[in-house]
Amino acid sequence: MAIYGIGTDIIQVSRVQAVMERTGGRFAQRVLGPEELAVYEARKARSATRGLAYLCTRFSAKEAFSKAIGLGMHMPMTWRAVQTLNAPGGKPYMVANGDLVQWLEERGITTHVTITDERDYAVSFVVAETDRPPVQTPVR
């Protein structure tokens, strides 16, 4: 395996909270995939603070993922094209859907993600690996 790309993102929780207030909560529905949205709603029902923290970590992970694969937020990468879920032990992992699945498979890309949050910030780090030979880029 070779590293295809690395992405990181940090987000200020208060900025997401302001967007949520401005959009009446629609921001979460625009950014989260169906499984993420279900977890978000359950956490938000127990604690608004933990729900917001969950939303921030998932938003941050999507940003880091888009950087690691080199697309940014351009097709086939969209907010809902990838979800960050948790294995039974808690380890986060990313699941693509739609056209992004084929795009990743064509490049032999798999990813590793780590996420964390504190009261004011959420941070994510994604490493994308490939089983394909690296493309040689000429040095200029």
Q: 120: annotated binding-site residue?
A: no
Assess whether pLDDT exceeds 90 at residue 139: no
Peptide bond preceding 92 in cis form (omega within 30 of 0): no
Give the SS3 label for residue 115: strand
23-43 per-position pLDDT tens digit: 999 999 999 999 999 999 999
Q: 9: annotated binding-site residue?
A: yes
Whether this prediction's pTM lies above 0.95 is answered by no
- Residue ranges and CATH numbers for the domains of the chain are 2-130 (3.90.470.20)
Nearest CA to 78 out of 64, 67, 62 is that of 62
Residue 20, both tokens: 């949520």
Per-residue pLDDT at 15: 97
Contact yes or no for 132/107 (Cβ under 8 A): yes
Per-residue pLDDT at 73: 87
| Band (140; pLDDT cuts 50, 70, 90) | low
Per-residue pLDDT at 133: 72
Please give the radius of gyration of the chain, using alpha carbons only, rounded to the nearest integer: 16
64-113 per-position pLDDT tens digit: 999 999 988 889 999 999 999 999 999 999 999 999 999 999 999 999 99
Assess whether pLDDT exceeds 80 at residue 138: no
User: What does the DSSP 8-state code read for residue 135?
Assistant: P
User: What does the DSSP 8-state code read for residue 80?
Assistant: G
